[in-house]
Chain A
Amino acid sequence: MSILVNKKTRVVFQGITGQLGRYYSQQMIDYGTKVVAGVTPGKAGEIVNGVPVYNSIKEACTASAADCAVVFVPAPYTKDAFMECIDAGIRLILCLTEGVPVQDMMIVKRKLAGAKTMLLGPNSPGIVTPGEFISGLMPKEAFSPGHIGIVSRSGTLTYQTADILRQSGYGTSSCMGIGGDPIVGLGFVDVLRLFEKDKKTDIVVLIGEIGGQGEEMAAEFIKDHMKKPVVSFIAGRTAPEGKTMGHAGAIISGGKGTYQSKEKAFAEAGVPVATIITDLPKLIKKRLGS
């Protein structure tokens, strides 16, 4: 078991004929992930990395029974790509594109509300189930199979964390980044709910960062609905207030979304927070030991 993806997941790769699309789809295939189709409008009939290319997601799904779409198209076209996937009945969209306009995402969220499709991202590094499935940007070096679930807002910290755990002898069940944008598909709470039900996951590592209310909402959920232990690290402990640190996830304003408010929420939910990220293995050992 694992969450969202495994060795049976069938991927259609949107944007496969671009330079990055070719590179990252090959990385997935090399890992053993089932990439069964590619989509680039106007390029139907081509073969990229041994994968047939179609003009639309719908055509690709009919021909290949894909249930998961990797969206790797430029930001101005991402909303359209999502709409196409949702209308084609895709089960899970993984979106790595960064810079999608916020108002586009508002419309996408309205569409998702009435659909069976789940969306991870945008601006997500994707998801890994070690030994079974890897998407896009994830460096395979970081992951080994095991029983820790990782969910992170930041992409790079997803693999950094997996690597720190691996170095300490801990493997992972599934690892994913939900994306650092202000509005994303699946949030911390959605992923925690899946990990709580997953038989292969014993403990969850939640990597948050300053800004927004996602960590506070996660803390509420953990307190009320989770039996499995959760440990955390929150990036931005020393970031000065009022400055925007890179992407939109990392804005603090007006006392909301601060490190202190997130740490307090986690403390009330019984979630220990590591001061530095390399302390996570110690916290895991303590929580699993008790």
Chain B
Amino acid sequence: MKLYEHQAKSIFKRTGIPIPNGKIVSSLEMVSEAYHDVGPNIVIKAQVLAGGRGKAGGIKAVDTLDDAKEISMSLLGSKLKGLVVKSLLFEERLDIAREYYVAIVNDRERSCPLVMMSMKGGMAIEEVAKEYPDQLAMQPIDVLYGLEDYQIRANAFHLGVPFADLNPLVSILKRLYKVYRRNDAELTEINPLIMTQQGQFIAGDGRLNVDDNALFRHPDFKEYIEIGIDKEFKAKKGNAFVDLDGDIGVMCTGAGMTMTMMDHISAYGGKPADFMDVGWGMLEGAAEEGIKLLLAKGVKVILISLYSGARTDTMAEKILECLPRIGNLNVPIVIRLQGKNEVEAQKLLSECHLPCVKTAETLDKAVALAVQIAKGEVK
């Protein structure tokens, strides 16, 4: 789960990392008050969960109330990098002396946190890594003991950080590591971390991505979860959904199996309409929600194809039970259920006498049939 900049910054502030004076604006009525609180020289930042906001026109410097109103009107409700701008952050403009990049991220290969630092603040870190690899310093962190001062100093000496910045930088990074550990972050990043002309470090931006699997430890984050199409599906017992632009609706269990179906469909000349990993929900009626979602998308055929260690006869029962309830079922459903109790599952499917249900015994046959139906070669 990704937090918005202003949410991440409020957590930074609580952990002792300075942030600029700022106000959140979610409607035009709030502009005047926010401007007077923060202004006169401010930055207006669109709150969307995407990088590269500046280049996309989502960050504007403003010096008058009229300009603040005009910019707010154009940004609020507009789309930035495909995402709707629902709120703006009005922030005081800082006098910048230097900009740093600092982050704590999961290092999956080494199974530990990683501290990353650069003096090329403000750039996307992928570009820094590509164009100035020696300007990026990192150290793996022993999760049992935490981030040590010397590791931060080692990075700083490698980068040539001015001596005056050294101790304040150590203090910021130790706090950022606290943010990472306390919030079960996958990544937390300040880019840029601004050293002002007045000699103070202030977080110019803030990113905090929280491990979804650890949300049980953070009930206060629940209010941050936004309901989108994929989240809605997750909430209804399914596992994961990604919208794609083909015409064959895919429903499966397991991410690996679902991707394999997509690959198979493509190899046979078809185009998958989605990635849908229903997981254990297949045993609890998630198929119904999945089929409805695919029908609403307007697919030409639905392919339910899986090999499972869970009871496939129960899955067949759940699918067959829900089909009569679905009103606008106007496309064929190709079903292949293999694995535990597959003989019983196939018996149920072959005896169901529903015209929309087409059964296939193997992966190859199921995909071939779905592709033929999508192309109009078979009904």
Contact = CB atoms under 8 A, between A and B. Distances in A.
Contact of B256 (A105, A152, A212): A152
A118 interface: no
B263 A212 contact: no
Interface in A65-121: 75-76, 99-107, 109-110
A99 B213 contact: yes
Is the contact region of chain B dominated by helix, strand, or loop, or is it mixed? mixed
Contacts of B214: 101-104
Contacts of B181: 103
A160 B260 contact: yes
A271 interface: no
A238 B266 contact: yes
B352 interface: no
Interface string A273-285: 0011110000000
Nearest to B264: A276
A169 to B, nearest CB: 15
Contacts of A203: none
B254 A276 contact: no
A106 B254 contact: no
Interface in B121-136: 126, 129
Contacts of B111: 105-106, 109, 183
B112 interface: yes
A163 B184 contact: no
Nearest to A243: B242
Contacts of A212: 108-109
B308 A156 contact: yes
Contacts of B253: 156
Interface residues of B, number: 51
Interface in B100-127: 106, 108-109, 111-113, 126
B143 interface: yes
A236 B364 CA distance: 17
Interface stretch (A34-42, A190-198, A247-255): A247-255
A101 B113 contact: no
A156 B126 contact: no
A55 B58 CA distance: 58
Contacts of B129: 254
14 contacts: A76-B217, A103-B214, A106-B106, A137-B309, A141-B339, A152-B256, A160-B260, A163-B307, A167-B362, A237-B263, A240-B244, A244-B242, A245-B259, A249-B255
Interface of A: 75-76, 99-107, 109-110, 125, 136-139, 141-142, 152-157, 159-160, 163-164, 167, 180, 182-183, 207, 209-210, 212-213, 217, 233, 235-240, 243-247, 249-250, 254, 275-278
- 5 tightest Cβ-Cβ pairs between the two chains A and B: A154-B256, A246-B255, A156-B254, A137-B309, A101-B214
Given A152-B256, A159-B307, A160-B307, 18 more contacts: A76-B217, A103-B143, A103-B184, A109-B112, A125-B309, A159-B309, A160-B257, A160-B363, A163-B339, A180-B256, A183-B106, A233-B260, A237-B266, A238-B266, A243-B275, A247-B255, A247-B277, A277-B263
